[in-house]
Amino acid sequence: MTELFEHNKNLLLSSRFLPESFDEFVGQKHLLSKDSVLRTLIEEDKLFSLIFYGPPGTGKTALAKLIAKKTNSEVVHTNATVFGIPEIKELTNTIRHYHGQKKFLLILDEIHHLNR
């Protein structure tokens, strides 16, 4: 039983148990059932822009990371609470770097903080 907690012991507990497949994803069955529109778009790699919203702990970031994995996309993950001009410039440069070269998925947590 101790091996369970020794694997990747430097990661946060929530990061150690991120779902690897749709079957492992707990909740959101209305979005991820076998014939759902979202799951079909993910599996066929035909996604477009999405915004996930909801209370903390509902799986928004976990689902975004699963989508990135399923679509072989690079993850650009940042948090809007720490955004200032330098961070916006850095994010813009990162997006320019990936644009046209590689698929990427931008995870921008706490986006509502950008309206300040």
Instruction: For residue 64, give the amino acid letter.
Output: A
**pLDDT confidence tier of residue 39, bands split at 50, 70 and 90:** very high
Output Rg (C-alpha) for the chain, integer angstroms: 16
Could you tell me which of 103, 38, 29, 35 has the C-alpha nearest to residue 71? 103
- In Å, how far are 2, 62, 79, 84 from 58, measured between CA atoms? 28, 9, 17, 27
Dihedral sign, Cα of residue 53, residue 59, residue 60, residue 61: positive
Task: Parse the chain into domains and list their residue ranges.
Answer: 3-115
Contacts of 25 (CB under 8 A, 6+ apart): 19, 32, 59, 62, 63, 66
The whole-model pTM stands at 0.77
Which range (12-21, 31-40, 106-115) has the least confidence? 12-21
What pLDDT is attached to residue 108? 86
| Tens-place pLDDT, residues 63-112 | 999 999 999 998 888 888 888 888 888 888 988 887 778 888 888 888 88
- Whether domain 3-115 has CATH 3.40.50.2000: the reply is no
**pLDDT confidence tier of residue 38, bands split at 50, 70 and 90:** very high
